[in-house]
Amino acid sequence: MTTARGLEGIVATTSSVSSIIDDTLTYAGYNIDDLAENASFEEVIYLLWHRKLPTQAELDELKQQLADNYDLPQEVLNHFKQYPIDKVHPMAALRTAVSLIGLYDEEADVMNDEANYRKAIRLQAKISALVTAFARIRKGQEPIAPRKDFGLAANFLYMLSGKEPEAVEIEAFDKALVLHADHELNASTFTARVCVATLSDVYSGVTAAIGALKGPLHGGANEQVMKMLSEIGSADNAEPYILNKLNNKEKVMGFGHRVYRQGDPRAKHLKEMSRRLTELTGEPQWYEMSTQIEELVTTQKKLPPNVDFYSASVYHSLGIDHDLFTPVFAVSRVSGWLAHILEQYSNNRLIRPRAEYTGPDMQTYVPIGERK
């Protein structure tokens, strides 16, 4: 057997959901640049789940199905109110809540294509409400019911703040959702596929994926980027701060990628939204600092920014709490997780890799009284 640490370079399965080839990301064959500029998040959900863009009638039907399933069980909202709010990270709350709503789905353990698709609709529809409800309850506020006339991007911002978002805010958040929707066989997606390959249920698969995303080596980088920007404070401080990090061989969050070598194709779209939003909010320093940092790290380390770097200032400008950045990632990526889960079910084989044994061998049992 040949060992590859972290399964790097190993092709573990086939998939028609998304691809990364020569630094180009596609969803079902559509270039991410094309989708980011033209498609809504709902269109991308349909594309990932059906491998084709929807007709207007198909898109309208999907939007209606999502709207019909926005609401959360009251038991889940009550459960949030029992959490030790000051000690619970939103990702832990989301992981628990997704598992919990499975208890109130009568089809949770029904295993056929139609039932699994209906569960995908319910999870996609409800995940925004889970994140925003927890965000409000921990501040002593009541959750805000979703509006049936709003799409997913507008509803998330509305349920978080209680205010109708501006058109540019909806555009920015919708674009961020499109860009984060899927990313081939990343750690959380692989976790979801491993889970459901045992023929476990959809809720278990998504719960497992959230558990993987919670780790700082996968999700959470944009939260760390915002922490760094907050520490820098102003554009004047950016250069000495970053040079000090580089001289001390410390990692600058939001740069480099395990798969991309020439640069993350998603970053440029969020960079433009960061510029527009920071101007709108009257806080251009976040964008100014970011561009200075990008120039320094790209010049000094030859590392281009990844999708996390500019998403930090985008989410901050949208009024999203910094520890909600990773749950926002999940709000988008659940669309990809569900696409992969449905694909895994359709042509399933238990995922069971091997491990190269490196422990002692040729040992003999010694009675307990004779052991030293």
Catalytic residue ranges:
257, 308
- Angstrom distances, CA of residue 18 to CA of 7, 24, 44, 81, 166: 19, 10, 11, 38, 31
Spatial distance between the Cα atoms of 270 and 178, rounded to a whole number of angstroms = 11
Spatial distance between the Cα atoms of 194 and 191, rounded to a whole number of angstroms = 5
- The DSSP string of 337-353 is HHHHHHHHHHT------
Structural element, H or E, at residue 27 = strand 24-27
The owner of tokens 């995908």 is 120
Spatial distance between the Cα atoms of 287 and 293, rounded to a whole number of angstroms = 10
Name the strands in the sheet holding 30-31, side by side, starting at the edge strand that comes first in the sequence. Answer: 18-21, 24-27, 30-31
In degrees rounded to 5, what are phi and psi of residue 360? -70, 155
Spatial distance between the Cα atoms of 302 and 255, rounded to a whole number of angstroms = 10
